[in-house]
Amino acid sequence: MPKQKINQDWFKLDNSAKIFPSVSNSSETNTFRVTVTLKEEVNVELLQEAVNIILERYPMFKVRLKKGIFWAYFDYNSKPFIVQKMDHRVCGEIIPIENNGYLFKVLYHHKDIAIEMFHSLADGGGVMQLLKSLVYEYLLLNRKPVTPDNIIATKNDKPEFEEYEDANAKYYNKKNRKHIPEEKAYRVKGTYLDDDQTGLISGVLNTKQMLELARKNDMTVTEYLTSVMMYIIYKTQIQYREHMRSNEKPVKIFVPVNLRKHFPSKTLRNFTNFIKTNMRMDKPDISFEEIKVLVKEQFSQGIKKEELIRKMSENVAFEKNVFLRMTPYFLKNYVLKIGFNMLGIKLNTMSLTNIGRTVFPESMKPYIYDVTAAIYAGKFNTIGCAIVSYEDKFKITFTRSIIENQIEREFFRHLTSQGLDIEIESNYVEEYS
């Protein structure tokens, strides 16, 4: 990959970003949201000022999407960015034209500051860094004595070249890029909500209790919650109906892995891969223990370096394909759309993403109440789950595009039956659906 200059005003899309503009629409929005809840009401003018400051620090986000002859690209956006009041939509489609061309939104609602990001521009790790910087500048403008403590990039830091790199292409290995065909996954069915409605239910747990519970089961938190998820899907959707044809497909949970933890890279752009659990639930008596063993095994297989590089290289190799590269963009758009709708989207039952522990400097902690993450729920993956923790608050957020909520109910009931205290937050979508 040729070196890009730091002061340049346009960027290529990175490997995983290239697919999203072609396959996103009002129901498959490919957006996600990260929220920081402060302890006092948000001041809109100061927030707007903080955003303006922070966009100068992160030129990578001050862009709009433009179409080239062969690929789309991010071009410098000279229009002003405007913060918006949060409405009932959760991870709705980001329509650039309504947004001055920007591919993300900064939303406020009482004490919440949220960023809703189109997945093409960055992944959870990148957005978390942006949000931390934003909250830092906001608190600073609010005359709070906060210090960055090397955790937060402030307006005075110079953007680094490494923040823009396409790290997938960097770790691409030509020899290790075998394509392994996959089976279609089981799909959670239900009655659809309208496109602009999303059901949201979060549960706030105690971090210590959650960690202890996972440790008691000899698993990591992500592994444990993935197993619970598999078990609940089995219990609520499949058990005693496993002979039905639609239930024969394996349940697959897509768990993103933050590759910054496995490969040295400071990029803000997409640098995630995934682990996938896979289980065909064709018996009436599958036990939780059985699922736990399988999930643990599949996680340890999926997290191996060679496997991660293989999955990464598989995607990069696809992008480097000469025929695909030389196809004009408008045709490529159709190819990607059809290919993705036929294959890509049907390979997962749902996504469960664990953004992990958010760390703020000691001086900022008194002003921050908690952190929430949410991912979109589409027509095929009707349910999504995002997990994030801050201090003693461990937050599991479900988003759904269907009216039925048995999975959430049984999931939280399973956790309470293990002796955990849970506080629920919901947007009460049933009020208007």
CA gap 247, 355 in Å, rounded: 30
Count the Cβ atoms, other than its own, within 10 Å of residue 35: 23
80 interacts with other proteins by CB under 8 A: no
Neighbours of 289 (CB within 10 A): 11
To the nearest whole angstrom, how small is the minimum distance from the Cβ of residue 3 to other proteins? 14
- Containing 416, the helix (H) or strand (E) segment is helix 406-417
Q: Which residue from 25, 68, 261, 301 is in contact with other proteins, where contact means CB under 8 A?
A: 68
Q: Is 69 in the site for other proteins (CB under 8 A)?
A: yes
Please report where in the chains the tokens 């729920």 appear, as a residue: 377
Q: How many angstroms separate the CA atoms of 24 and 21, rounded? A: 6
332-391 residues near other proteins, rule: CB under 8 A = none
- CA separation for the pair 211, 122 (Å, rounded): 29
Q: Does 425 engage in binding with other proteins (CB under 8 A)?
A: yes
Verify binding: residue 432, other proteins, rule CB under 8 A.
Answer: yes
Which helix H or strand E contains 326, and what residues bound it?
helix 322-326
Give the count of residues interacting with other proteins (CB under 8 A): 44
Residue 39 interacts with other proteins (CB under 8 A): yes or no: no
DSSP state letter for 376: -
Our CB check for other proteins shows the closer of 218 and 423 to be 423
Which CB sits closer to other proteins, 345 or 422? Answer: 422
Q: How far is CA 154 from CA 82, 133, 333, 409, 433, in A?
A: 20, 6, 38, 41, 42
In the structure encoding, which two tokens stand for residue 75, read together? 């071009």
Taking CB under 8 A as the criterion, the residue among 208, 215, 283, 413 binding other proteins is: 413
How far apart are CB 134 and other proteins at their closest, in Å?
A: 20
**Pair type for strands 199-206 and 31-38:** unpaired
From residue 95 to residue 124, what is the string marking binding to other proteins with x (rule CB under 8 A)? --x-----------xx-x------------
* Contact flag: residue 88 with other proteins (CB under 8 A): yes
Q: Is 416 in the site for other proteins (CB under 8 A)?
A: yes
In angstroms, the CA 182 to CA 169 distance is 23
> To the nearest whole angstrom, how small is the minimum distance from the Cβ of residue 67 to other proteins?
8
If one asks whether residue 408 binds other proteins (CB under 8 A), the answer comes out as yes
Amino acid identity for residue 306 in this structure: E
Determine, following the binding rule CB under 8 A, whether residue 71 of this chain makes contact with other proteins. Answer: yes
Asked whether position 203 contacts other proteins by CB under 8 A, the answer is yes
Q: Given the complex with other proteins, which of 154 and 426 has the nearer CB atom?
A: 426
Q: How far is the CB of 72 from other proteins (least distance, A)?
A: 10
CB 13 within 8 A of CB 333: no
Convert 184-200 to b/e letters by CB count within 10 Å (16 or more is b). ebbbbebeebebebbbb
Q: Could you tell me which stretch among 67-75, 145-153, 215-223, 310-318 binds other proteins (CB under 8 A)?
A: 67-75
Buried/exposed 364-397: b ≥16 CB within 10 Å, e otherwise: beebbebbbbbbbbbebbbbbbbbbbbeebbbbb
Q: Which of 22, 168, 197, 351 binds other proteins (CB under 8 A)?
A: 197
The pair of structure tokens assigned to 221 is: 């938190």
Residue 1 in the binding site for other proteins (CB under 8 A):
no
Q: Which two tokens stand for residue 218?
A: 């000899």
**Chain positions contacting other proteins, by CB under 8 A:** 10, 12, 66, 68-71, 73, 75, 78, 85-90, 97, 109-110, 112, 196-197, 200-201, 203, 325-326, 405, 408-409, 412-413, 416, 421-428, 430-432
